[in-house]
Homo-oligomer: A and B are copies of this chain.
Amino acid sequence: MIKIGIVGYGNLAKGAECAIAQNPDMALVAVFTRRSPETVKIATEDVPVYPLSKAADFADRIDVMLLCGGSATDLPEMTPEFAKHFHVIDSYDNHVRIPAHFARVDTSAKETGHLALISAGWDPGLFSLNRLYASAILPEGKDYTFWGKGVSQGHSDAVRRIDGVLDARQYTIPVEEAMEQARSGSNPELTTRQKHTRLCYVVAEDGADKTEIEKQIKTMPGYFADYDTTVEFITAEQMQQEHAGLPHGGSVIRSGVTGWSREHRQIIEYKLSLDSNPEFTGSALVACARAIFRMASRGETGCRTIFDLAPADLSAYTQDYILEHML
């Protein structure tokens, strides 16, 4: 049994909790929270919730700690700190700052003899993995990443901060024609605007200026200004009934060429269609926890990414089973 702890109890933590229950070789030991533990009711029966401050006391009772905090402020502090006491996994997704985060976690984990995996999930994570494999096999080519159709939490939050907005859900939608161009092997140059559109469902306060809300959304720099954005106002009931889920997905496409005259087009596509983004991401974290447990058991220390994990280490199956049934 691999003994897992979870830090945080938001959507990702709940997804990971559920994934642990689907893996017979895993057991959830405890959840640690910044809130008052008595206010946090978790889904798994007979598993305790403790304050974050008590986590270090569990150093010898937890094999791998899943850090389910946010990338903006939580993980940059949390992952190096927890790596002093545990083998840890996070889903740090601020692509630009990954090298700095890696360096800090690596130092902290090495000093105390722990193993850490950062940026697990699907992007970064499985999408990264497919970009790497595909570029290694087809060194001459071009990568395309499309996201959606799915809910972007960051963009939804950005809309919710606008005056007069009670609730919002933002869907990122890939442009079908752009995907077809990428798959065609014609290696088009595609701008941000050409690859995705954005669709916002907004619940406005009574009497709010909807024209002004729509304008603020569509001109928001960094989030919407570079996209064709559609805004639809709906009721709170519609939001609850039609947009309660957190679906997502996307495609990584490598369009490469081989042959002495580069005459043959070779297309690799990896595609996810997810009813629940946090449950899928949690499932990826839990599979990675198995690998980190095994690698740590072999004495490895320091920071890793999914690029450093031998695929067999993620699987619950034995070497014999894998050779007979999966190759």
Contacts and interface: CB of A to CB of B under 8 A. Distances in A.
B279 A99 contact: no
A266 B122 CA distance: 13
A284 B140 CA distance: 13
Interface in A126-184: 126, 128-133, 135-140, 183
A322 B310 contact: no
Interface stretch (A17-25, A28-36, A53-61, A194-202): A17-25
Interface in A5-52: 15, 18-19, 21-23, 43
Contacts of A322: 132, 305, 307
A102 interface: yes
A312 interface: yes
Contacts of A270: 130, 268-271
Interface in A227-269: 258-260, 263-269
Nearest to A311: B307
Contacts of A137: 126, 280, 283-284, 287, 314
A123 to B, nearest CB: 9
**How many copies make up the complex?**
2
Chain B CB count within 10 A is highest, among A128, A312, A320, A326, for A326
A268 B126 CA distance: 10
A299 to B, nearest CB: 15
Chain B CB count within 10 A is highest, among A307, A308, A315, A322, for A307
Nearest to A285: B137
B327 A18 contact: no
A316 interface: yes
Interface string A286-327: 010010000000000000011111111011110010111011
A133 to B, nearest CB: 6
Given A267-B271, A307-B315, 14 more contacts: A19-B258, A22-B258, A95-B327, A128-B327, A129-B311, A132-B322, A136-B290, A137-B283, A259-B276, A264-B279, A268-B270, A305-B312, A306-B311, A309-B311
19 contacts: A18-B258, A19-B258, A43-B260, A98-B323, A98-B324, A99-B324, A128-B326, A130-B270, A132-B326, A133-B287, A133-B314, A136-B316, A137-B314, A258-B276, A259-B276, A264-B276, A266-B274, A268-B271, A307-B327
Interface of A: 15, 18-19, 21-23, 43, 95, 98-99, 102, 119, 124, 126, 128-133, 135-140, 183, 258-260, 263-276, 279-280, 282-284, 287, 290, 305-312, 314-317, 320, 322-324, 326-327
